[in-house]
Amino acid sequence: MGYYSDALAWARLILEEEVPLTGTGNHTAPSLLFPMEAVFEAFVAKHLARQVVRPLILKSQARSCHLVRHLEQNWFRLKPDLVVRDAGRDILVLDTKWKLLDSLKSSGSDKYGLSQGDFYQLQAYGQSYLNGKGDVVLIYPKTAAFDQPLPVFQFCKPQGLQLWVLPFCLKSRMLLVPEGAPFKDTFKLADEVTSHNPAIVQLS
C-alpha cells in the first residue's frame, strides 16, 4: 500500500478540493513541478507544425551543427529548438523562450526584457544553419504586455542576418507573424489551420 501513498495523497487533495500549499492541516503531498521552458517548447512545436505550409517540414531539436572544430573533434553542439526545412535545406531557425517581455519597455536600458545571451545564441544559429543570411526567430508567450511582434533586429555582422521577436498565443495556438516578414508565406493564416490538418514534426 505504501507504493501508492503519493498518488493517494494527490487524489485526496483533488477529491476534497484542497490546495497543495504550505499551511496548516494534516494533508501531506509531494511537490509537483514542471520545467515550463520544456513544456512551452513542446507546445509550440506541436501547434506550429500545423501552421507550416507543405511541403516544408518543421524539425525539432536540430543537431547538425557545432560551434567549433578542435583536434578533429566537433565541440559545443548548436541545437535550436525548431528549424524549418525545405527539401533538406534549412530556411528558418526558431527558438522558444519561456520569459515575459514588455513591448513598452523599448529603451536601451530595458530592451523589452530581452537577454543579450539569447541574441548571441541566435546569431550563432544563423551563422551555422543559414550561412549568415536569412531570418532567425525568438518566440515568447503572448501576454497583455507583449501582444504584437517587435520591430525586426538587424545584426551588424554578418549583414543579411536579422532576428524577429514574435509572440505565440497560447489560446489560439498560433504564432503571430508580421506582414512584412520575409518568411510570412512559410506559415498559414489562422483560418487556414484546422484540426484536420496533421502536424508535420520531424525529430532528429
pLDDT, tens digit (0-9, with 9 covering 90-100), for 91-121: 999 999 999 999 999 998 999 999 999 999 9
Residue of 34, 22, 27, 26 lying closest to 6 (CA atoms) = 27
Are residues 104 and 12 part of one domain? no
Neighbours of 110 (CB within 10 A): 11
Kindly tell me the burial class for residue 160, based on how many C-beta atoms sit within 10 Å of its own C-beta (0-12, 13-18, 19 or more).
Answer: middle
Instruction: Give the Cα-Cα-Cα angle 176, 178, 180 (nearest 5 degrees).
Output: 160
pLDDT the model gives residue 27: 60
Question: What predicted TM-score, i.e. pTM, was given to this entire model?
Answer: 0.80
pLDDT, tens digit (0-9, with 9 covering 90-100), for 26-61: 666 556 678 899 999 999 999 999 999 999 999 997
Q: Which range of residues forms the domain containing residue 173?
A: 35-203
Are residues 152 and 132 part of one domain? yes
Are residues 196 and 108 part of one domain? yes
pLDDT, tens digit (0-9, with 9 covering 90-100), for 178-190: 998 999 999 987 6
Q: Residue 199 above 50 pLDDT?
A: no
Neighbours of 46 (CB within 10 A): 14
